Chains A and B, each alone.
Chain A
Amino acid sequence: MHFSLTAEQQLLADTVRRFLSKEYGFEARLRILRSEEGWSRDVWSQLAEMGLLALQVPEEHGGMGPAPVETLLTLSALGGALVVEPYLACAVLGAALVRDLGSKAQREALLPAIAAGEKIVVPAHGEAGARYALAHVATAASRSEKGWVLRGGKAVVLHAPAADVLLVTARTSGAPSDPRGLSLFAVPRDAKGLGLVPYATIDGRRAADLVLDGVAVPADALLGEEGGALPVLEAVMDLGVAGLCAEASGVLQATLDGTIEYTKTRRQFGVPIAKFQALQHRMADMLIHVEQARSMATLALLRADDRDARERRRAVSAAKVVAGQAGRFVGQQAVQLHGGMGVSDEVPVAHQFKRLLAIEQTLGDTDHHLERFIAAGAA
């Protein structure tokens, strides 16, 4: 047991951090947010060049995955800079779904393209009324002469407007919350019958609700076995939750660092406000949350591929609980300690606060994962 990094891992972490501090400062990020697409294809190509989009892609398809430690380092760094590009959705969830469900031909068609930054492939899973229950899918796929026809709707599909391919979950049998009967389909975003209602999210990202009105896809659009997608979907979403926790730990550290810096420079009553013990102890409490969240993100990513599903669920859900509670505490206190500046959109802390809020609402909130942790323990 040890926590040290290899020389290559350290180099990767340094490279990503250097790149982000040079190319992804607060102003640069705001320009990206305000652009028409709301994300930067240029940044995306550079992430690809650094090999970061290949972390879930197996070697046989030109990648270096699975690479949990590298994923931890990368997502933590991306979190620190509040990177809005679809890293988790495409390079983690999209890539892992194709890797774990796709046939050889499907993998060859998509994985090298994901790794090279040429294709954006993201999951389209959530539905209105499903909240965070993975099996709750009402969208239906029925067989046609040439393949499948999809009908239904998807809710809050992150990065859908940026996607080339959407990995759509649909029911090929069973009732809406039946664990069996769930299938995964690769659907081009410009497919006929697929409507997007695009919007921005509170943390400045782009997303869409989808309407699938008789979307026809060929037979080879089905990834994996018909009706058997849920176990893999759950494992991949757990990897996603772990990744989200890693991102959160980067956001949390940056939020604490910014707050320390601010309280050292802001003067009231003739002294920097960092001299007041009420504020010092608040920041000590923030640090404890940050460290606990970092620990759990590490555990979750290293357990995300655990063959024992119970161990995996416990580690991942526990990590999301810790990240969620840390996010609330650190985010709220950071805004509080920034005073009036904290509620202005012109300073990083406001954006960090909103990202932490978004993380809490994504892939299962604290209560959801607390319940899941309890259920995994009782099983």
Chain B
Amino acid sequence: MNLRFTPEELAFRDEVRAFLAEKLPPDIREKVLAGLHVSPEDTVRWQRTLFERGWGGPNWPKEFGGTGWDPVRQYVFEEECAAAGAPRLLPFGLKMVGPVIMRFGSAEQQQRFLPRILTGEDWWCQGYSEPGAGSDLASLKMRAERQGDHYLVNGQKTWITLAQHAAWIFCLVRTDPAAKPQAGISFLLVDMRSPGVTVRPITLLDGTVEVNEVFMEDVKVPLENLVGKENEGWTYAKFLLGHERTNIAGIGASKRELARLKRIAASERKNGRPILEDPAFAFRLAQVEIDLMALEITNLRVLSAEAERRAPGPEASILKIKGTEIQQALTELMVQAVGPYALPFRREALDGAFEGPAIGPTWAAPLAATYCNYRKTSIYGGSNEIQKNIITAMILGL
């Protein structure tokens, strides 16, 4: 047991730091460090930059063009990127459909789709939830009927994150309505540009458009876009959820946000002193910082176990619950730190490209909106209540 990085790991960290110092565009860095929105173009530009360095797939094996890094290196990379203010990489290709195609897709699918994820050419989105199928995902109804050389797809998906920018969507569809709910589901790759696909944006409580409804009306999807076997999609979906939850703790990003919170709290004053020194505030801040320290070690313990066993386990549910609680607590304290200046709300000021005059302290503009936005974290990716069901069944054996 050794909690220090080895000299090789430290050298790797330095290599990542040097790369970030040289290649992370300053305009993107500034937006991320200020908690402002990055554009889709920013995200793609950064993915492209990583790809050119050979780091487009930090969590992918070498045979598919990934880095082949062990879990510790992946962790170091994520942490350094987050600390430096790099934008979040899109998880839909890299952490979701990518691993599914690698594990269950055909050789043709692997050649066709995987390289374009690494380069950032294909923006993917995840078609899981439906109006009647959230936590109870297996009750999904989107229908795919086999007709000659294609499936005919009808139905509705909802809460589809960033679908408005996506070229492709991977969908769970019902191919056998007679079978038990989990048994009649297939995993289908659908071109968003197909006739019959409609995207309707949903405005979130922070005024942003982050999620969408996606309607499919008689959409023709070639049979070759089925991943794996028909009616076995549920197995692939569960495999994907396991991968989605790795690094879901978001330690690196939370450390960066903690540092931002401290900067804000050092500048905001209460009774003539920085609110950072206010005992009640300092106690709450220290509590979050300590929880984060503990979660970092828990995360490393889970990674270490995964490295030995080679698959994400149910412990990821612990990381999801605690990680999102910490993320939410940080947004809450930032709102508290700025007091009444949390109230002014101008949607355009959340955009990283906004150059208008600030109302109140420059750092205040996005804080309340982010607090509102981050309520999503304990709901998405399997709500925290569902995670507790997983813990109950898979770890506690109840």
Given A1-B9, A281-B385, A281-B392, does the pair A299, B297 have CB atoms closer than 8 Å?
yes
Closest chain A residue to B317 by CB distance?
Answer: A284
With the chains together, A315 CA to B2 CA distance in Å?
Answer: 15
Closest chain A residue to B296 by CB distance?
Answer: A295
A-contacting residues, B25-71, CB 8 Å: none
Q: Are B392 and A283 in contact (CB under 8 A)?
A: yes
B273 contacts partner chain A, Cβ-Cβ < 8 Å? no
Given A1-B5, A69-B1, does the pair A295, B294 have CB atoms closer than 8 Å?
yes
B147 contacts partner chain A, Cβ-Cβ < 8 Å? no
Q: Are A1 and B6 in contact (CB under 8 A)?
A: yes
Q: What is the distance, in angstroms, from B346's C-beta to the closest C-beta of chain A?
A: 34
Q: Are B290 and A322 in contact (CB under 8 A)?
A: yes
Q: What is the distance, in angstroms, from A27's C-beta to the closest C-beta of chain B?
A: 27
Closest chain A residue to B302 by CB distance?
Answer: A291
B251 contacts partner chain A, Cβ-Cβ < 8 Å? no
Neighbouring B residues of A293 by C-beta, 8 Å: 294
Number of B residues contacting the other chain (C-beta, 8 Å)?
A: 40
Q: What is the distance, in angstroms, from A193's C-beta to the closest C-beta of chain B?
A: 43
Neighbouring B residues of A260 by C-beta, 8 Å: 396-398
With the chains together, A298 CA to B3 CA distance in Å?
Answer: 9
Neighbouring B residues of A275 by C-beta, 8 Å: 398
Q: Are A291 and B298 in contact (CB under 8 A)?
A: yes
B-contacting residues, A257-310, CB 8 Å: 260, 263-264, 274-275, 277, 280-281, 283-285, 287-288, 291-296, 298-299, 302-303
Partner of B283, one of A264, A287, A292, A374: A374
- Using C-beta atoms within 8 Å of the partner chain, give the interface range for chain A: 35 or more
B321 contacts partner chain A, Cβ-Cβ < 8 Å? yes
Given A274-B398, A287-B396, does the pair A1, B300 have CB atoms closer than 8 Å?
yes
Closest chain B residue to A321 by CB distance?
Answer: B290
Neighbouring A residues of B189 by C-beta, 8 Å: none
With the chains together, A296 CA to B300 CA distance in Å?
Answer: 12
B259 contacts partner chain A, Cβ-Cβ < 8 Å? no
B-contacting residues, A1-24, CB 8 Å: 1-5, 9
Partner of A280, one of B4, B294, B318, B388: B388
With the chains together, A5 CA to B72 CA distance in Å?
Answer: 17
Q: What is the distance, in angstroms, from A276's C-beta to the closest C-beta of chain B?
A: 10
Partner of B298, one of A69, A277, A285, A295: A295
Neighbouring A residues of B293 by C-beta, 8 Å: 296, 299, 315, 318
Neighbouring A residues of B385 by C-beta, 8 Å: 281
Q: Are B322 and A292 in contact (CB under 8 A)?
A: yes
With the chains together, A264 CA to B9 CA distance in Å?
Answer: 45
A87 contacts partner chain B, Cβ-Cβ < 8 Å? no
Contact with B along A24-57 (1 / 0, CB 8 A): 0000000000000000000000000000000000
Q: What is the distance, in angstroms, from B263's C-beta to the closest C-beta of chain A?
A: 14
Q: Give the interface of A toward B (CB within 8 A).
A: 1-5, 9, 69, 260, 263-264, 274-275, 277, 280-281, 283-285, 287-288, 291-296, 298-299, 302-303, 315, 318, 321-322, 370, 373-374, 377-378
Known interface pairs A284-B387, A302-B3, A374-B282; 20 further A-B residue pairs with C-beta atoms within 8 A, sorted by A's residue number: A2-B2, A3-B301, A4-B1, A4-B304, A69-B1, A260-B396, A280-B396, A281-B388, A281-B392, A285-B388, A287-B395, A288-B318, A293-B294, A295-B297, A298-B301, A299-B297, A315-B293, A318-B294, A374-B286, A377-B289
In the assembled complex, 10 residue pairs joining A and B whose CB atoms fall closer than 8 Å, in A order, are: A2-B72, A9-B1, A263-B398, A280-B396, A281-B388, A287-B396, A294-B301, A295-B294, A298-B301, A299-B293
